[in-house]
Chains A and B, each alone.
Chain A
Amino acid sequence: MDAEIKMLKVHLAGELFEVPEGSTIMMAFEYAGFQLKRGVGCREGYCGACATVYREKGDYKLQGGLACQTVVTDGMTIAQIPFVPAEKPIYDLTQLSPDVSTFTELFPSVFRCVSCNTCTKACPQDIQVMDYIQAIIRGDIARAADLSFDCIRCGLCAMRCPAEIVQYNNATLARRLYGHYLAKKSPELEKRIIEIEDGKYDKQINDLNEMGKEELSKIYFNREIKIS
């Protein structure tokens, strides 16, 4: 016989529902019959599509999190955010310089930061958001790229920022600048690209393409895994 599942009361988009204990916010919505078309993505905590705002029973704090990663508690009040309509300027990465002037041009609002740290407190990825914004302000693009590396662009930082900065789009630009202009170039990569272009691996790829599903899974599961 199945064990009794405890049900929790949660407020989803203004209505009261009972959902099984242990559900994530996303599971709770779907259990309650909502069909999520926006504000849902990989369901694994990687894509950042499911930013959500919630408040726990008896707490005054409005909290942010990812719907697919946050487990509901009894009495929780939840609002799902479809998407964050944040400013996203269009730029040609090859025409930029990896310094502060690029941000002055594309994201002048970044200089309004007063170091309140609200962004850092809103981040479900525990990123030091304020610190990477400050790194951008002083032109340290490499530090900004490094500090923001785990950003999944959920947008909660920008939603809470009292200075109306779009932190995550600044961070994306910093990482793109770093990758394009500042990161150490790998000679091995250049070499491999030439090998591929010269057709060194064509035969192997063609062989794989011609294999049936069974044969392909056999060699996939028997593959040699090197752990260095």
Chain B
Amino acid sequence: MKIPYFPGCTLKTTAKNFEISAIASAKKIGIDFIELDRWNCCGVVSSLTSDDLMKHLAPVRNFLRVQEMNKQGIVENENRMVTLCSMCYNTLSLSNKRMKENADDLQKVNDFMHREEENYKGDVDVVHFLSILDEYGFDKLAQKVTKPLKDLKVASYYGCTLLRPKSVGIDDTEDPKILENFVKALGADAIDWDAKSRCCGSYHTVNNVDIVYRLVQGIVDDAKKNGADAIITSCPLCAFNLDVRQSEIKDKNPDYQTLPIYYFTQLMGLALEIDKQDLGLEFNKIEPEKLLKKLNLLS
């Protein structure tokens, strides 16, 4: 199956491990990510103001690339655009929803791009890779696993943007299960915990880092309390806060026990036995290999 793929800026810079592990893992189960040949930043944060239509040009231009790929036969009748980064997913989905539901806004955006782009017809669907896997079937995924992640206790961290607002959430806002189902399909243990959809501090990491330290420590402590060996995420900003900021907490308090942070696709790649270099573990800040080696999951 070939599917148009929107990477987003972070996956090309600080979250390369997310991208390479996802592409290699998807390929292993027969899903080819075809990167849009031209794409632009999703806009990062969806503008909530009603008169700020210009912020929606960025998402719509990306949808137009999917329209073109279908027209050029690069993909066949595939109106879905897959994303990996939770924030890109959220921003693109909210814009798309607004364009689909509000003909006046769509018209204005198309008018702005008059003579430079085709009109956006509003028929592209933004999907997160986890939803693609859900549709593929976690039972089927489990059958493809060649190295079950036995005895690995994983805390699934959703953060905010995969689940909220409800209109674009990929699962139940209060009681999501999709990541836990994914973890079980890989043969690992999905622990239940409270902090799975708490905020990591997000952009406070830029100039209010103390807020992030406090929130990250709360999330990691809750994962440890519930017996987790590791935390997985699908958001590069959550990953940065949990991984880099947690390691800084450790720098300040040498007795602090850290938990390794993985992108969910890194564990998927491990279970599907993709090439080790495609796991991109060298990009993880908190030592990622020790735990996996201890459980004989990595040589």
Contacts and interface: CB of A to CB of B under 8 A. Distances in A.
A117 B116 contact: yes
Interface in A131-146: 131, 134, 137-140
Nearest to A139: B13
Given A121-B116, A138-B9, A115 B38 contact: no
A113 B41 contact: yes
B55 interface: yes
A215 B12 CA distance: 58
A130 B13 contact: no
Nearest to A113: B41
A116 B40 contact: no
Contact of A117 (B12, B55, B113): B113
B57 interface: yes
Most buried by B among A113, A114, A115: A115
B116 A137 contact: no
Contacts of A134: 39-41
Contacts of B39: 134
Contact of B58 (A114, A120, A121, A140): A114
A211 B55 CA distance: 65
A130 B54 contact: no
- Tell me the interface secondary structure of chain A in the complex: loop
B12 A138 contact: yes
Contacts of A140: 12
Contacts of B40: 113, 115, 130-131, 134
A99 interface: yes
B112 interface: yes
A63 B259 CA distance: 57
Contact of B57 (A116, A120, A131, A137): A116
Nearest to B38: A131
B contact residues, range: 10 to 19
A162 interface: yes
B184 interface: no
A195 to B, nearest CB: 41
Contacts of B41: 113, 115, 134, 137-138
A137 B10 CA distance: 9
Interface in A2-52: none
A115 B116 contact: no
B43 A114 contact: yes
Nearest to A121: B116
Contacts of B8: 138
A120 B61 CA distance: 14
Contacts of B38: 131
Contact of A115 (B7, B12, B13, B61): B61
Contacts of A159: none
Contacts of A137: 9, 41
Nearest to B39: A134
B156 to A, nearest CB: 28
A129 B35 CA distance: 21
B38 to A, nearest CB: 6
A67 B178 CA distance: 60
A178 B276 CA distance: 30
Choose among B40, B41, B54, B61 the residue with the greatest number of A CB atoms under 10 Å from its CB. Answer: B40
A99 B41 CA distance: 17
A161 interface: no
Nearest to B52: A114
B205 to A, nearest CB: 14
A116 B112 contact: yes
Contacts of B7: 138
A165 B57 CA distance: 17
Nearest to B61: A115
Contacts of A121: 116
A138 B8 CA distance: 8
Given A121-B116, A137-B41, A138-B41, A116 B9 contact: no
Interface of A: 99-100, 113-117, 120-121, 130-131, 134, 137-140, 162
Given A115-B61, A138-B9, 12 more contacts: A99-B13, A113-B40, A114-B57, A115-B40, A117-B57, A117-B113, A120-B116, A121-B116, A137-B9, A138-B12, A139-B9, A140-B12
15 contacts: A113-B40, A113-B41, A114-B43, A115-B43, A116-B54, A116-B57, A116-B112, A117-B113, A130-B40, A131-B40, A138-B13, A138-B41, A139-B9, A139-B12, A162-B54
